[in-house]
Structure 1
C-alpha cells in the first residue's frame, strides 16, 4: 500500500503498522466488553447469594417459629404436670390427715363416754381428765377439725345420718332430736356424719277418736248381740 503526502510523494505503508493500529483500537472495545461480562457475572453471583441468603433467613425464621411453638407447648405441658403433681400430693396429704383424725375421733368418743359415766365432776382427778379432754379438742381445732352442731337443727342428709325416726309433736318435722354419735368436719368438708334421731309427726289422738279401730267396733257389736 502507498500513501500520498502533500508533496505528492508516495510512500510505502508497513502492514505491521496497520495491524498494530487496529489492535490499539480494538483492545479498548474488547476490554470494555470483558468488563461488562465480569460485572454481569458478579451481579448474577451477588443476586444468587442474596437469594440464598433470603432462603436461609426464611428457613431460620420458620425453624425459630416451630421451635418457639414447641417450646411453648413443652412449657405448658410442664406447668400442667407440675400443677397436677402438686394437686395429687396435696390430696394424698389430705387423705392421710383425714384417716389420722378419724382414728383420733374414735379415741375421743371413748374419752367422752368415760366422762359421761362419771358422777362426781368435782373430783380433782376427773377435772384433770376434763382438762386433757379440752386439750384434745384444741389439737383437733388446730388441725381444722370441728364438731358439727346437730341437735335442734334441721336434718341435713349431707351432714347427718338418720338412725331412728322419733314420732313427736314437740319438735318440727325433720328436726334432729338426739345425737348418738357426734359428727365432725375437716377444712370445711365432712369428715364424719352425725348419727342422729329425726323427729316425725306423732299420730293425732283426734283421728283415733273419729276413726275407732276394728276391734272396738267388733266388741261393741258383740255387746249389742248379747
Structure 2
C-alpha cells in the first residue's frame, strides 16, 4: 500500500500542477478578454472627439460674431460721436451770436439804418449756418417748449405759476438744448408750469392707483 502511494505520488503531483497551471492560464485569458471588452470603441472615440470639436467651433463662432457686432457698434459710435467735443464748443459760439442778436430790442431794429440791418442779418445768417452745419453732423435741437418736463432732456431753472397749462409743462426756454444721436449734448434750461391741472399721463396714474 505504501509503495503504491509512493509510486503514484509524483504522477499525482504533476497532474495537480498541470491542472493548476491550466486554471491560471484560463483566468489570465478571461481577464485579458475582459480588459479588451472594456476598451473604448474607436468609432465611439471618434464620435466623442467630433462632438467636442463641434462644440468648440460653435463657441468660437459665437465669440467671433459677438466681437464683430461689438466692433461694428464701436465704429458706428465713433463716427456718430466723434464731433461731440467740437459740437459742444460750437454751441457756445452759437449762444454768443444769439445773445448779440437779442441785445437789440425790436424798436432799435425798426429804427436801424441799412448798415446796422445788414449787420444784424449777417449775424443771424451766421447762426443759422452754424446750426445747419451741426445738424448735418447729427446734432439736433431738443424741442422743449410745450413739452412735459423730462429730466433726461431738460434742466428746470424755475417754476412759473400758470393754471392754464398742465403741471410740469415747459413754458419757457432759457437756453436751447441739443442732442447728438441718442446722447444729450446739453440739456435745455427751462421754466416749468406749477399749479395747473395734472397732465393726462399723471391723471391716468392717479386713477389707476
| TM-score between the two structures when normalised by the length of structure 2 | 0.59
Note the 1:145-156 alignment, pairs <5 A: 145-156=139-150
- Say if 1:188 and 1:133 are closer, same or farther in 2 by CA, change over 3 A: same
Equivalent of 2:84 in 98, 105, 109: 98
Counterpart in the other structure of 1:13? none
Alpha-carbon separation, structure 2, partners of 1:143 and 1:73: 39
Gaps of 5+ in 1: 1-53, 203-226
Q: CA deviation at 1:181?
A: 0.8
Equivalent of 2:50 in 64, 79, 83: 64
Question: Comparing both chains, which one has the higher relative contact order based on Cα–Cα distances under 8 Å and sequence gaps of 6 or more?
Answer: 2
Equivalent of 2:155 in 142, 157, 161: 161
Alpha-carbon separation, structure 1, partners of 2:123 and 2:138: 23
Q: CA deviation at 1:136?
A: 1.1
Counterpart in the other structure of 1:43? none
Secondary structure in 2 matching 1:158? coil
Question: Residues 91-148 of structure 1, C-alpha deviation per residue, up to 9 Å, x if partnerless?
Answer: 4444433333222211211121112224437622322222222211211221222212
Gaps of 5+ in 2: 1-39, 197-209
What's the Cα RMSD here?
Answer: 2.8
Alpha-carbon separation, structure 1, partners of 2:78 and 2:61: 25
Question: Residues 134-182 of structure 1, C-alpha deviation per residue, up to 9 Å, x if partnerless?
Answer: 2112112212222122223332333211111122445443232321111
Q: Conserved in 1, the CA contact under 8 Å of 2:80 and 2:138?
A: no
Q: CA deviation at 1:188?
A: 4.6
Equivalent of 2:188 in 190, 194, 205: 194
Instruction: Say how many residue pairs are matched.
Output: 149
Note the 1:100-119 alignment, pairs <5 A: 100-118=86-104, 119=108
Q: Conserved in 1, the CA contact under 8 Å of 2:173 and 2:191?
A: yes
Counterpart in the other structure of 2:134? 140
Question: Residues 46-94 of structure 1, C-alpha deviation per residue, up to 9 Å, x if partnerless?
Answer: xxxxxxxx95444334333322221221121122222223333434444
Equivalent of 1:130 in 103, 124, 138: 124
Secondary structure in 2 matching 1:154? coil
Counterpart in the other structure of 2:16? none
Note the 1:1-226 alignment, pairs <5 A: 55-118=41-104, 119-120=108-109, 123-169=117-163, 171-201=165-195
Alpha-carbon separation, structure 2, partners of 1:114 and 1:103: 17
Q: Conserved in 1, the CA contact under 8 Å of 2:80 and 2:181?
A: no
